[in-house]
Amino acid sequence: MYANITAPPRKGRNRRALSTALLSAGILLLLVLFLTAPARYAQACTRGIALWAKTVLPTLFPFLVLTGILTKLGAVRKLSERLSPLTGIFGLPGSAAYCLLLSLLSGYPVGSRTVAMLHQGGAIERRQAARMSMLCSTSGPMFLLGSVGGILFKSAAAGMILLTAHLLAVVGVSLLLALPRRGKQSAASPVPPPAAAKNADGILARSMQESVVAILCVGGFIALFSVLVQALLDLRVLSAPSALFALFLSPFGSGSAAEGLAVGLLEATQGCAAIAASGAPLALPLCAFLVTFGGGSILAQQLAFLSAAGVRAGAFIGVKMLQGIAAFLLCLVLCLL
């Protein structure tokens, strides 16, 4: 099953041309909408930036800087070497522990970027990168504990439940998909050493620069998808899925979270904010689904790196959907305990 996530053979020119034409038409439509109501969509972009500045930047940016320093000092590498025997459970090489640890510490883009870097550096094969991509795809703990739990739900306990359900879902689904490969552990790949640094100032400067670029990219995706969400709301594209979600959620008293769920499939942070504000009984499990699945914005961030490693977008999104459903069910159980 893992093999199916790797890139397929070259597609036909007609299919690529059709995809390009549809994408171009969609972008042109968005440009027309933006030009007809620039103030409206500028406001949507501002809301996305404000959401990023309020809930993501304060909790994630310091963590990116500090974990970057630890990586360059070699502390993360040494710790991951101790954890590398555990990766055999997933049929993965020892270098997977390095990627997983960075993903657990810093979140989605970092894990995916590290997998792509290992593949481009020749440390892992394409199929290994594909299998590692699903395991090394976790949200950073500070986002779940601080941004979603602390800021949106105003509850440290909610953040802990989210984090627990999220990690169990990612690891559990990855483990289940690894069962067919049990006993076929990949050959160990060396964990890449940290870049040499002349002094502590050099480490701090590079970590700061890399963290600024990473956090700005996250903010850019949130702002872009906030505009896209507003455009789809104006075009009534989200009306059908919102109505469908309301139909399923209403019997559980959570119909008010339906639109937030539809929005979250595109931009998870904005969707979680709307769901948390709804006060629906299933708000926390729904947010567990969104932050684990990722939504369009987070998926785009990861695939921007993983595509260079030959990871198929469709298969990767399918695995993330399974992990999201598992996180919803686990969070629901934890809430009932």
pLDDT tens digits for 197-215?
Answer: 455 668 888 889 888 988 8
pLDDT at 191 over 70: no
User: Residues 182-202: what's their mean pLDDT?
Assistant: 55
pLDDT in tens, 46-76: 999 998 898 788 877 888 888 778 777 777 6
pLDDT of residue 1: 47
pLDDT of residue 279: 93
Three state DSSP letters for the chain: CHHHHECCCCCCHHHHHHHHHHHHHHHHHHHHHHHHCHHHHHHHHHHHHHHHHHHHHHHHHHHHHHHHHHHHHCHHHHHHHHHHHHHHHHCCCCHHHHHHHHHHHHCHHHHHHHHHHHHHCCCCCHHHHHHHHHHCCCCCHHHHHHHHHHHHCCCHHHHHHHHHHHHHHHHHHHHHHHHHHCCCCCCCCCCCCCCCCCCHHHHHHHHHHHHHHHHHHHHHHHHHHHHHHHHHHHCCCCHHHHHHHHHHHHHHCCHHHHHHHHHHCCCHHHHHHHHHHHCCCCHHHHHHHHHHHCHHHHHHHHHHHHHHHCECHHHHHHHHHHHHHHHHHHHHHHHHC
pLDDT of residue 25: 86
pLDDT at 184 over 70: no
Please identify which residue in the block is written with the tokens 């070259």. 10
pLDDT of residue 201: 63
pLDDT at 263 over 60: yes
Cβ neighbours, 10 Å, residue 263: 28
181: which 2 tokens? 């490969």
pLDDT of residue 317: 95
- pLDDT, averaged across the chain: 85
Instruction: Report which of residues 63 and 300 the model is more confident about.
Output: 300
